[in-house]
Amino acid sequence: MTGDYHLDRVVREARLRASADRRYQHELRRHARASRHRQGSGGARPALASDTGTGPHSNPTTLEPSMFTALAEDFTLACGQVLRNRFVKAAMSEQLADRRGQATPVLEDLYRRWARGGAALLITGNAMVDGTQLSEPYNLVAERASSLEGLSALAAAAHDGEARIWLQLNHPGRQSSRVVSSRPVAPSAVPMGMLPAMFAQPRVLDESQIRDIIHRFARSARLAADAGFDGVQVHAAHGYLLNQFLSPFTNRRTDRWGGSLSNRSRLLLEVIEAIQQIAPAGFVVGVKLNSADFQRGGFSEEESMTVVSYLEAAGIDLLEVSGGTYEAPAMLSTKPASTREREAYFFDYVSAVRSTTRLPVMLTGGLRTPAAMEAVVTSGTVDLVGLARPLTLVPDLPRRVLSGEAQIAVPTPPVPKGTLQLLSETPWYVHQMRRLGQGREPQPVGRLRALAQDARRNLGWRLTRTAFRRGRTRTGLENSLSVPRQGRPRSSSPPEHSRSIDS
């Protein structure tokens, strides 16, 4: 699909300007070296190209350190919430909650670090609306009033750094591995087509279970609002439950939740409506949607565009565009840069959807260079730039770009082939997030080592979770699983209304 704006052209133009700026920066450095030398020797100031009419001030197409003007602009959402610039930390499942799904101090510190890194908005990794249905071990769970203390601390950590924070809400459906779920649920009994030993056969949801899930999304959103979050993002992408309902490949139902696109969209739209009913004024409801599933018989671009029109009519505040599922992980395209056509994987779709909707659009996936980030915003196609993996390696990238650093190179870790790539991509970045939360720097650990660490943690999670379940009534066991926030006062009891939604 070709949009009105071609990213390649837009980026090429921005790169030309950036390369002129590089020459200028090079000259500045040369000038600084020369002036240091001059101070030592008392010589004359060397001429800069700008002195001779060839520097950036003489050329209207060059960019100066303040070249990222579009990224620096604030952005106001329809509900009135203001984002101070165009950078968003996209959702990444941090897997840093405790075994009961409560936020930990390491998770808070990670968000404090990202907030200070300059992004206007931090969207958390997917928080589960049902503690028995996780996408991975150590997921955050937003289910009970007992989560309020941790969630409040997490929101406060982001606000300390003057960032907005939204909680991403998710239900994994059939994309829940045997490590965390032996009884996943789904719209239809379609088993996972990849690594079948890893995933159990899903159970088909009945009407009352579907209603319960809608209620759970609303309850989790209410918890987020009570905890001080600025909004929620409903995860309807990447092959999880809401995406499974949208897709004709995974949704084979013949009742009012399946069949036509409007029936397949019903769950997503009812979830949004239920959240809007409990949302306080100014509380944002965003949606992450696939541009396509990239699977034969799956959710297509045409269908996605129609769903965007439903979402606009439903009055959501922000659309984030991504794509792919576990079985076709387009969102984590790991092709080497040399063979990847362009930085922003879903730019063409966004270009096309832009002409059909007035919804603000955030684009996530593949953006790596400041020039391309600026270009997608300048083109008018994208309102907000979503960054995930780059912020695990350069957590202060937004602040550095906005202060004029054009040459930030986001390291691209070597990508293994086949199953190792599929299995290790997430653990490798989870490892980096853990290090950041512990106050350490990212580390280029080997893929196998990241996988081994992941397996060890998963095993630990399973063993303790089983012990926890069996020994619920044992004195002291629950406490031993809940590490208190050292030196941070425990909050007082949760507000009355949040207790009532816990029932």
List contacts with ligand FMN (CB under 6 A): 90-93, 125-126, 168, 235, 237-238, 288, 322, 331-332, 364-366, 387-390, 426, 429-430
Residue number with CB closer to ligand FMN (126 or 381)? 126
Which residues have C-beta within 8 Å of that of residue 26, sequence separation ≥ 6? none
Residue 77 Cβ, how far from ligand FMN at the closest point, in Å? 19
Residue number with CB closer to ligand FMN (125 or 398)? 125
Residue 320 Cβ, how far from ligand FMN at the closest point, in Å? 8
Residue 10 Cβ, how far from ligand FMN at the closest point, in Å? 18
Integer Cα distance of 49 and 305 in angstroms: 49
Read out DSSP for 147-161? GHHHHHHHHHHHHHT
Residue 161 Cβ, how far from ligand FMN at the closest point, in Å? 20
Residue number with CB closer to ligand FMN (62 or 291)? 291
Give backbone dihedrals phi and psi of 464, rounded to 5 degrees, phi first: -70, -35
Integer Cα distance of 283 and 360 in angstroms: 16
Output the CA torsion 379→383→388→390 (10° steps): 40
Neighbour tally for 401: CB within 10 Å: 25
Residue number with CB closer to ligand FMN (62 or 93)? 93
What is the Rg, in whole angstroms, of the alpha carbon atoms belonging to the chain?
A: 24
Residue closest to 289 by CA, chosen among 237, 324, 244, 250: 237
Residue number with CB closer to ligand FMN (20 or 96)? 96
Residue number with CB closer to ligand FMN (20 or 331)? 331
Residue closest to 228 by CA, chosen among 287, 154, 168, 301: 154
Residue 392 Cβ, how far from ligand FMN at the closest point, in Å? 7
Q: Taking phi first (over 0 means left), then psi (-120 to 50 degrees means alpha), and beta for anything else, what does residue 42 get?
A: left
Residue 420 Cβ, how far from ligand FMN at the closest point, in Å? 15
Residue 124 Cβ, how far from ligand FMN at the closest point, in Å? 8
Residue number with CB closer to ligand FMN (377 or 501)? 377
Residue 150 Cβ, how far from ligand FMN at the closest point, in Å? 17
Residue 95 Cβ, how far from ligand FMN at the closest point, in Å? 8
Largest pairwise CA distance in the chain: 86
By CB atoms closer than 10 A (0-12, 13-18, 19+), residue 16 is: middle
Q: From residue 443, how far is each of 189, 335, 367, 413, 428 by CA, in Å? A: 41, 21, 21, 10, 10
Residue number with CB closer to ligand FMN (27 or 383)? 383
- Are the beta carbons of 179 and 185 closer than 8 angstroms? no
Residue number with CB closer to ligand FMN (129 or 332)? 332
Strand blocks (E) in 259-317: 284-290
Strand blocks (E) in 318-433: 318-322, 361-364, 384-387
